[in-house]
Amino acid sequence: MTGTKDDPQRRERKKKAIRDSIFKTAQKLFVDKGFENTSVEDITKRVDIAQSTFFNYFPRKEDLLAEIFKRKIPFLKRKCQEILELDVPIKTKINRIFSTTARIAAKHENITRAMLIKSFTTLNNQQYDGIFFEDFRNSLSLILKQGQAEDHIRKDISPIKLANMLEGVFTLFVIDCLIKKTYRMSSRELCKRLNICLEGMTTGTKVDE
């Protein structure tokens, strides 16, 4: 008999509904109050569940940060593919992918700030790096690889190393905007920094691997 209390599909639907409710509630609270100012109790009260139930789904509050960025990855991958297929100069493609990523970061400012802090302060920060930055790096390297094939980007450095350099420029920019608050995410400063870095990537000067 389907739809009974012990129906496995029904249990899975219920689990998914609770997980999604926790996720959506936490994300809204992180945006409104900030990650550090939101407690597990704040989340469980809104969802109307016990704290023990919360920990069944997310062993730590920090795991919600990873979940938030994990859900952004498919969108970013689609945008990277769209940009990759555009008939525009390689520098324009790279600036567009970083502009897209900056908009995501700005839209979730409190969450992005918390993610950066956790990435730099957690002893084992590979969890946070792997959730978002690794996928971003790989997508960016595809654009750089295309630039190398078209002889617009230097070939003496691997695409993934070039992606790491550009990612470093972007990360420092985000830190300046969201932690130091020196610039706004919407400023032209990001393009200036990227273009300076890109100038070095389009020269024929050799560097040590």
* pLDDT tens by residue, 132-166: 567 778 888 988 998 999 899 999 999 999 999 99
Q: How far apart are CA 115 and CA 39, in angstroms?
A: 16
In whole angstroms, give the CA distance from residue 127 to residue 202. Answer: 33
Domain 67-201 in the same topology as domain 8-59: no
Kindly report, residue by residue over 3-48, the tens digit of the pLDDT: 555 688 888 999 999 999 999 999 999 989 989 899 999 999 999 9
Superfamily of domain 8-59: Homeodomain-like (1.10.10.60)
Task: Report pLDDT for 159.
Answer: 94
- Which position has the token pair 């100038």? 199
Instruction: Give the integer Cα–Cα distance in Å for 181 and 162.
Output: 27
Mean pLDDT, all residues of the chain: 84
* 174 close to 112: Cβ distance less than 8 angstroms: yes
User: Domain segments of the chain: what residues?
Assistant: 8-59, 67-201
Residues 6+ apart with CB under 8 A from 15: 57
- Whole-prediction pTM: 0.74
CATH class of 67-201: mainly alpha
